[in-house]
Structure 1
Amino acid sequence: MAAKDDFGRAGESRAVEYLTGRGYDIIERNWRCPQGEIDIIASTGAHLAVVEVKTRRSSAYGHPFEAVDARKLRRLWQLAFAWAAVHPDEVRGRDIRVEAIGITGPDPAVAEIEHLEDLS
């Protein structure tokens, strides 16, 4: 596995710790379907969150959230609906929202973390 992949997985693990610390329940990680992959699916109260995690060693090539552009947001919504179609009982009575977590720093375990809770 490439160092880049390990770095990204470390960022996703940090995001899971962050979310659980904020009261989210993690339902699934790295869910895949033909259209792509969802990094984290989590619930908090009446919300089901589809979470995209972007981990960067620095902001030299842009902020992590810059990678979540309109095209990526459309893809995340498509993936959210695909996941919901396969897991209707998990969705029942909950609003779905797309969220993003940006992690910036050379060590994801202690890097700066930012969270956008509702990308519409």
Structure 2
Amino acid sequence: MRTSDAVGRYGEQVAVAHLEAAGMRVVARNWRCTDPVRGEIDVVARDGDALVAVEVKTRRCGPAGTPGAGHPFEAVTPVKAARVRRLLVAFADASGERAGSLRVDAVAVLRPPAGPARVEHLRGVA
């Protein structure tokens, strides 16, 4: 397994724990779609009546505690967020999950050289 894959898996585990601690219920992880929209949703969760696609971005931090590749949220562009929203619609159609609303969130996991990860959660990015 590549180091970047291991960091990503770690970040998703941390993000799921954070979402569940916040009262959300995870419905699916790493859901893939090839039609009509190609792509993957990292985490699909329920937040009350809302169905939420969660884009998880993880970065390792250097000794100063800052990520070398920029903040994880910088990778969640408006284009990426819109694509994840289209994937969420496809997930809802394919799974039969009904919701009062659909939402896209982003979770940043910052992994320092030592100590626990820092988690930031942005709700409603799309």
Q: TM-score, normalised by structure 1?
A: 0.91
Return the alpha-carbon distance in structure 2 between the equivalents of residues 42 and 108 of structure 1. 29
1:107 positional shift: 6.0
**1:9-44: CA deviation from partner (whole Å, max 9, x where unpaired):** 010000000011111111000000111100000001
Q: Is the 8 A contact 1:55 1:102 kept in 2?
A: yes
Question: Equivalent residue for 1:40?
Answer: 43
Aligned partner of 1:82 among 77, 81, 90: 90
Give the RMSD, CA atoms, in angstroms: 1.6
Higher normalized helix content (fraction of residues): 1
Q: Deviations over 1:49-108 (max 9, x none)?
A: 1000000002222110000001111210111111111022x22x4211000000112369
- Superposed, which structure 2 residues align to 1:49-88 within 5 Å? 49-58=52-61, 59-88=67-96
Cα 1:103–1:32 change in 2 (3 A) is same
Identity %: 42
Structure 2: runs of 5+ lacking an equivalent:
62-66
Give runs of ≥4 in structure 1 deviating > 3 Å. 106-109
Q: Which amino acid aligns with 1:10?
A: Y
Q: Which runs of 5+ in 1 are unaligned?
A: none
Indicate the residue corresponding to 1:100 in structure 2.
Answer: 106
1:20 equivalent in structure 2: 20
Q: Does the 8 A contact of 1:14 with 1:108 survive in 2?
A: no
Secondary structure of the corresponding residue to residue 119 of structure 1: coil
